[in-house]
Amino acid sequence: MTDNALTPGIASGRLDPETYTENFSDLHPPLDDHEALVAADRCYFCHDAPCITACPTAIDIPLFIRQIATGTPEAAAETILNQNILGGMCARVCPTETLCEEACVRELAEGKPVLIGQLQRYATDTLMEQDVHPFARAEATGKRIAVVGAGPAGLACAHRLAMKGHDVTLFDGHDKPGGLNEYGIAAYKTVGGFAEREVEWLLGIGGIVVETGKRLGRDLDMTQLREDHDAVFLGVGLGGVNALALDGEDRDGVRDAVDFIADLRQADDLSALPVGRDVVVIGGGMTAIDAAVQARLLGALNVTLVYRRGRDRMNASVYEQDLAASKGVRIITNASPRAVHGNGSVREVEFEYTEDDLTPTGQTFRLPADQVFRAIGQTLQGDDLPELDGRKIAVTGAGRTSLDGVWAGGDCAAGGDDLTVTAVAEGRDAAEDIHSKLMPQAG
**pLDDT tens digits for range 114-139:** 999 999 999 999 999 998 899 999 99
Closest by CA position to 430, among listed 167, 233, 196, 179:
233
With a CB cutoff of 8 Å and minimum separation 6, the contacts of 18 are none
Residue 2: which pLDDT band, with cuts at 50, 70 and 90?
A: very low
Q: Which residues lie across from 304 on neighbouring strands?
A: 280, 330
Closest by CA position to 82, among listed 124, 119, 116:
124
How distant, in Å, are the alpha carbons of 57, 431, 433, 437 from that of 398?
13, 9, 6, 12
pLDDT at 4 over 80: no
Whole-number pLDDT of residue 181: 96
Whole-number pLDDT of residue 139: 97
Query: Apex CA 272: angle with CA 266 and CA 277, to 5°?
Result: 110
**Integer-rounded Cα radius of gyration of the chain:** 22
Give the number of C-alpha atoms closer than 13 A to the C-alpha of residue 239, restricted to the C-beta side.
13
For residue 53, the tally of other CB atoms under 10 A from its CB is 12
Average pLDDT, the chain: 95
Interatomic CA distance for residues 160 and 379, integer angstroms = 27
Q: Give the CA dihedral 143, 385, 256, 171, nearest 10 degrees.
A: 20
Whole-number pLDDT of residue 443: 54
CB distance 145 to 233 below 8 Å:
yes
More confident residue, 3 or 147: 147
Closest by CA position to 204, among listed 129, 137, 127, 123:
137
Interatomic CA distance for residues 333 and 315, integer angstroms = 13
With a CB cutoff of 8 Å and minimum separation 6, the contacts of 79 are 59, 60, 63, 64, 67
With a CB cutoff of 8 Å and minimum separation 6, the contacts of 347 are 341, 368, 369, 370
Interatomic CA distance for residues 147 and 231, integer angstroms = 9
Where do the structural domains in the chain lie, given as residue ranges? 33-129, 144-239+380-442, 242-377
pLDDT at 442 over 90: no
The residue-averaged pLDDT of 20-28 equals 95
Looking at the structure, give the CATH architecture of the domain made up of residues 144-239+380-442: 3-Layer(bba) Sandwich (3.50)
The residue-averaged pLDDT of 230-235 equals 98
Q: Which residues lie across from 339 on neighbouring strands?
A: 247, 350
CB distance 284 to 309 below 8 Å:
yes
In this structure, is the dihedral angle defined by the CA atoms of residues 274, 381, 378 and 356, taken in order, positive or negative?
Answer: positive
Interatomic CA distance for residues 248 and 175, integer angstroms = 32
In this structure, is the dihedral angle defined by the CA atoms of residues 263, 269, 272 and 274, taken in order, positive or negative?
Answer: positive
The residue-averaged pLDDT of 20-39 equals 96
Give the number of C-alpha atoms closer than 13 A to the C-alpha of residue 321, restricted to the C-beta side.
18
Q: Answer left, alpha or beta for residue 400, where phi above 0 means left and psi between -120 and 50 means alpha.
A: beta
Whole-number pLDDT of residue 401: 98
How is domain 33-129 classified at the CATH fold level? Fumarate Reductase Iron-sulfur Protein; Chain B, domain 2 (1.10.1060)
432 sits in which H/E element: helix 420-438
Q: Where does 229-270 have alpha helices with state H? A: 257-266
Q: Which residues lie across from 408 on neighbouring strands?
A: 234
Write out pLDDT tens, residues 213-222.
999 999 999 9
Write out pLDDT tens, residues 260-308.
999 999 999 999 999 999 999 999 999 999 999 999 999 999 999 999 9
CB distance 122 to 36 below 8 Å:
yes
Closest by CA position to 241, among listed 231, 225, 255:
255
3-state SS, residue 384 = coil
Domain at 242-377, CATH class:
alpha beta
Q: Are strands 208-212 and 167-172 parallel, antiparallel or unpaired?
A: parallel
Query: Apex CA 292: angle with CA 289 and CA 296, to 5°?
Result: 135
Q: Please measure the distance between the N-terminal and C-terminal CA atoms of the chain and give it in whole angstroms.
A: 56
Whether 33-129 shares its CATH topology with 242-377 is answered no
pLDDT at 5 over 80: no
Q: Which residues lie across from 212 on neighbouring strands?
A: 172
The residue-averaged pLDDT of 41-63 equals 96
For residue 15, the tally of other CB atoms under 10 A from its CB is 17
Residue 226: which pLDDT band, with cuts at 50, 70 and 90?
A: very high
Closest by CA position to 151, among listed 202, 192, 116:
202
Residue 9's φ and ψ, nearest 5 degrees, are: 95, -20
3-state SS, residue 390 = coil
* Percent residues over pLDDT 90 in the chain: 92
